[in-house]
Amino acid sequence: MSPAALVEVERLWREFDVSGPLLNRLVEGRPRQTLTALADVSFAIGRRETFALVGESGSGKSTIARIIVGLLPPSAGDVRIDGVSMSSAAARAARADLRRRIQMIFQDPYASLNPRWRVDRIIAEPLRAFGLIRDRQEIEGRVAELLGLVGLDPADGRKYPHEFSGGQRQRVAIARALAANPEFIVCDEPTSALDVSVQAQILNLMRDLQDRLGLTYLFISHNLAVVRHMATRIGVLYLGRLVEVAPPRDLFASPRHPYTRMLLDAVPDLEMTGRVRRSVEGEVPNPIDPPKGCGFHPRCPFQTERCRRETPALVSLEDRLIACHGISEGRI
């Protein structure tokens, strides 16, 4: 991992126990079942960088987000923020400061805002919780400043969340995240619940705030057009594993992994280039009983016996990181 990275994720695993009740298992003679949501995921995010995670539903994107912000513990592996392990004694002693420096923007702004609180109280809550400002007038001034920063009128602070549109509610959620003066923000599908025109406004706002405040983003999305607009680097997840990591220009110009190719081929060709395209075929395997070897091999047209037997490691290859036997062997 890079010593200059703000966020380091190292060999992260997460398993969920999905077994039935003990008595039922004893009567029916069924063993315990575990679902592997993440398997050996490693990446680093530099300061002021936007690292994006893409993949089909169930690939583990939101699980990574919740582990990084501390909402879920990892089964194995470690997350370090500015060199401090989130699971170490030092991290527990500095938990308040780490939580202030990490904030999260959720997919549904209406579900993430308290409907019984006015917006000014919602935005002021981090200021009070972290003890950043104690004077009432200073809090009111800071809330008005944050509302202006995200393109809302300071007078909107007296309204309730239901009085805003979806895009305005997401602006309120961004203002609440910024209230704690964070360095790192996890954005979990922040625009997927919004109209296309509103999505562009929110994305441009987030880029402007990143440039102005020096923020670092982990951006999670299934929309490849959004990721191309926002990301510095893109990580492609499949069945809980990273299969390719590359800058957007390289990834979109020359996708290497067969799964990445299938994802990009599913995007409508608005320029009508006439390029032969392959649609995404098959279904994501059951993570309770994943296939042996490479998890993508049941859907891959280039699979061999080695793919069905051996899990490929994520290795550096030219301008990217990639996990594919066919590429490392020169077959693809």
Q: Which of 23, 22, 20 is nearest to 33 (CA)?
A: 20
- Tokens 């025109």 identify what position? 197
**Predicted local confidence at residue 89, as pLDDT:** 63
- DSSP 8-class letter at 262: H
What the block records as the tokens of 311 is 């899990």
- The residue ranges of DSSP E strands in 167-281, in sequence order, are 184-188, 216-220, 233-238, 241-246
**Predicted local confidence at residue 287, as pLDDT:** 84
**Predicted local confidence at residue 96, as pLDDT:** 63
Q: What is the CATH number of domain 5-267+277-328?
A: 3.40.50.300
**Predicted local confidence at residue 118, as pLDDT:** 95
- Tokens 């527990």 identify what position? 92
CB-neighbour burial class of residue 24 (10 A; exposed 0-12, middle 13-18, buried 19+): exposed
**Predicted local confidence at residue 284, as pLDDT:** 79
Q: Give the CA radius of gyration of the chain.
A: 22
- C-beta neighbour count of 244 within 10 angstroms: 28
**Predicted local confidence at residue 331, as pLDDT:** 84
Contact at 8 Å (CB) between 98 and 84?
yes
**Predicted local confidence at residue 155, as pLDDT:** 93
- Give, for all 332 residues of the chain, the pLDDT tens digit: 444 789 999 999 999 988 888 888 788 888 888 899 999 999 999 999 999 999 888 889 999 999 998 889 999 999 998 888 887 665 566 666 777 889 999 888 888 899 999 999 999 999 998 888 889 999 999 999 999 999 999 999 999 999 999 889 999 999 999 999 999 999 998 888 788 888 888 999 999 999 999 999 999 998 888 898 899 999 999 999 999 999 999 999 899 999 999 888 877 665 555 566 666 667 778 888 889 999 999 989 899 999 999 999 999 988 899 999 999 888 87
CA 86 to chain centre: 18
What the block records as the tokens of 28 is 């029916």
**Predicted local confidence at residue 268, as pLDDT:** 65
